[in-house]
Amino acid sequence: MTTQYRTWPLPAVVPLAVLGPLDTPLSKGDGQSRMVSPLKNHDGWLAKLYQSPLGAGDAGRLDALIALPGAAREADRELLRTATSWPVARITGGAAETVGCVIPAAPAGYRFGIRTSAGRATEKYLDIDWLARPGEALSARAIPAPSDAERLRVCRSVVAVAACLERHGIVYSDWSYSNTFWDPLAHTAFVIDVDGCGPARVSNVFQPNWEDPLTARTVPADGATDRYRVALLVARCLTGEREVLRVLHAIAPAAARAGVPDAGEMLLDMLLAQERRLRPTLDSLLAALEGRSAIRMPVQRMKLPALPARPGGDPRATAGAATATAGPAAGPAAGAGAGTAAGPRLPPRPPAGARPGQSGSGMSQERKNLVITMSVVVAILLVILVVGLASSS
């Protein structure tokens, strides 16, 4: 979808009273906002009012975000203002504190008529969550089932925004199903809640099944965290799968069907890299999704666990298992244990320089087993010798 962005007519810092009356809220108490309401006097613009006023540091961060498109190259400025809810003004209250921001409304194409689980017709903004489901699940809700090529177009749209943010040193952190809308006819994406972005390192927003396995919850999110979460979002949308282990097994065949096999390998590098700093850049991922050549550095991946059978013997249970080349996925920070809904937990990372199968002590498992076997044999021989000496005496 190509949309000419609107120009905000008021200053970049504006008192709430100057904005005029607010229309019926579109949402209330959602995340960091207490409500999001259309501005009656400014068609196409929304007032996002926060749960509590921002401190001086966050107010300055918001001002920097508002100013960013004006200093960006034209292509980036167009992208940020048409494919995201980029803030255009900081809203102040009676005491000049920051109480919210002005953002553009998502284009009408992102609202779509669907059928609810109860069979009723309704119209709503479609979260990109829907794409992490097979086509038949979408058809059952009167949503056009996308082809592999159409899924790819949506993924390119998401990554174009993510790569733009990375180029400008902006970390989003909260990449998940609910923060991106999807147009099922134009096959584009619209990213929302970008007013929470920040430079370099921001709060590591916790969302179940979206955790970066190489970043502890208590550590701020950075560019490497964004690379992991964007890759996971793209992989889920491209494959129509949700559970991380199944996603990992399905990435390569899905990318091949869409005609971008190199993108499948790059997604696996981003999701399974043993070193978070070696995850490919989002610009590289975008190039691969667009079928362009991209520099792909060698990345050591973690081993991919076997795929369990689906309940009821679903034939998709082993799809792609032979082509996936490595490693586990989401879940809390490293630690052995059973897999979760987010995917298998990571085993402890081997020490630097260790060979496959080698433990932290420097001895391979095979060697350990041999030592144990020899010890048992020696013990048995000693027992036989002692018994023989006792009998002879």
Tell me phi and psi for residue 358, to 5 degrees: -95, 140
pLDDT of 269 reads 97
Is the pLDDT at 355 greater than 60? The verdict is no
- State the DSSP H helix or E strand holding residue 183, giving kind and residue range, or none if neither: strand 180-183
pLDDT confidence tier of residue 375, bands split at 50, 70 and 90 = low
| Domain locations in the chain as residue ranges | 15-104, 108-318
Confidence grade of residue 341 (pLDDT, cut at 50, 70, 90): very low
> Which pLDDT value is given to residue 331?
34
pLDDT of residue 384: 59
Q: Cα separation of 391 and 316, whole Å?
A: 66
pLDDT at 30: 80
CA distance 45 to 357: 58
Round to whole Å and give the CA distance between 155 and 39. Answer: 31
pLDDT of residue 243: 94
In 3-state terms, what secondary structure has residue 101?
Answer: strand
The predicted-structure confidence for 22-71, as pLDDT tens digits, reads as follows 999 999 888 788 999 999 999 999 999 999 999 999 999 999 999 999 99
For β-strands 98-104 and 45-54, DSSP reports them as antiparallel
Superfamily of domain 108-318: Transferase(Phosphotransferase) domain 1 (1.10.510.10)
The fold for domain 15-104 equals Phosphorylase Kinase; domain 1 (3.30.200)
Mean pLDDT of the chain: 84
Which of 182-186, 334-338, 360-364 tops mean pLDDT? 182-186
pTM (predicted TM-score): 0.79
Residue 116 has pLDDT above 50, yes or no: yes
Residue 356 scores a pLDDT above 50: no
Banded pLDDT at 378 (limits 50, 70, 90): low
- What pLDDT does 87 receive? 97
Quick one: pLDDT band at residue 380, thresholds 50, 70, 90? low
Amino acid identity of residue 368, one-letter, is K
How far is 230 from 248, CA to CA, in rounded Å? Answer: 14
Which of 82-91, 189-198, 224-233, 384-393 has the weakest average pLDDT? Answer: 384-393
